[in-house]
Amino acid sequence: MSKIPQQLIPLAIILVIVIGVFIAATDMFVPESFGKLGHFRADAIQENMALEQVYAGSDACYDCHDDIVETKSKSYHKGLACEVCHGAAMKHIDSPEDFIPNAPRGRGYCPLCHGYNPSRPSGFPQIIADRHNPGKACMSCHNPHNPLLPNAPEECAACHREISNLKMLSHHATLPCTQCHTIEKGHKTSPKFSKAHKPTDNTTCANCHEKGSSVNKDAPKLNTEEHSERYLCWDCHYPHYPEAN
């Protein structure tokens, strides 16, 4: 019978020591109640039951805010608990005057759900927060308890601020956006589904810049057909800041 290789003996001793340490550590660190009711600490149930209750639940809000709760219950936010936005409110229930729940009036909170995320369903309202009317708080246009489409701002700059700022420095500063863009009726409230259309040919530019045009006499005049040939005007001239090339 062959002898056990000498080099395996130290390895076997080390293995026995490791197993012994593991068993001892398991006995030392695994809680006594672990496994009694399942693969968790049974004592955790009692520990959690002993914690101070901080959330009151939306039903508790109804006693004082029944009008808001009624409105919210018929809105797109009906499944959203009040404390998701306002924070834990048990202290407010116990002492309404001493503890006022937070009302998130800034722009940092709503994008947690409504900030653009390609993994969300396409029908879920999403925005790019730093481009979507960045100068105003969300609540200035949207009622969070009944988040319908808002009364859209009249000025296009509310959403297209970068373009508007550039246009204000150009010769087109006083030109209304609708002079060049055809705006579908629902664009201001549902821009994803109702588009603002760009010109498709040079006719729009020619209205002001065609030689002999009486529209805007100070605008540079030329024979647009000869000047542009087969190109569109904006192939060379950026319409929001038009410079001659």
Confidence of residue 25 (pLDDT cuts 50, 70, 90): confident
The reported pTM is: 0.51
- The phi and psi torsions of 152 (rounded to 5 degrees) equal -65, 140
C-alpha distances in angstroms, 215 versus 200, 207, 210?
A: 20, 7, 9
Alpha-helical regions (H) of 35-183: 43-50, 58-61, 66-73, 82-86, 90-94, 111-114, 161-167
Q: State the pLDDT at residue 153.
A: 61
Average pLDDT, the chain: 86
DSSP state at residue 176: -
Tokens of 231: 């190109």
Confidence of residue 83 (pLDDT cuts 50, 70, 90): very high
Distance CA 78, CA 74 (A): 6
Residues 6+ apart with CB under 8 A from 57: 81, 83
Distance CA 48, CA 65 (A): 30
Lowest pLDDT segment from 22-31, 58-67, 152-161, 185-194: 152-161
- Amino acid making up residue 175: L
**Domain ranges across the chain:** 58-94, 152-245
Q: State the pLDDT at residue 2.
A: 67
